[in-house]
Amino acid sequence: QVQLVESGGGLVQAGGSLRLSCAASGIIFSIHAMGWYRQAPGKQRELVATITGGGSANYADSVKGRFIVSRDNAKNTVYLQMNSLKPEDTADYYCNTEWRGINVWGKGTLVTVSS
């Protein structure tokens, strides 16, 4: 069974940095594209960044130049390096992949950015 577990969330001041991790199990990790999403209170979940199995990344306009997504296939882990954080980045952050046509989600990790 596929399982995704996020970690690394916490409280940080505006302008600071944080790195999130997502550990995957139950899949051939290296051939799966991975995604990071976030959901702020009272708002819909939105795509933050994606990365292919080969390491090609894509970003939402709101985080371009500030966030970097990467992966370590030997560790079955995808990362989200978050720099120059803003209060509007405050949200629950979720890891995602597709398995047998179904979206699989982790339980999320909370990031809070204070002004």
- pLDDT for position 63: 98
pLDDT of residue 106: 97
Instruction: Report residue 103 as tokens.
Output: 């979206």
Please, which pLDDT band fits residue 57 given cuts at 50, 70 and 90? very high
pLDDT at res. 78: 97
* Residues 100, 44: Cα–Cα separation, whole Å: 25
Looking at the DSSP bridge assignments, the partners of residue 109 are 93
- Mean pLDDT value across residues 6-34: 96
Confidence of residue 8 (pLDDT cuts 50, 70, 90): very high
Side-chain half-sphere of 55: how many Cα atoms within 13 Å? 4
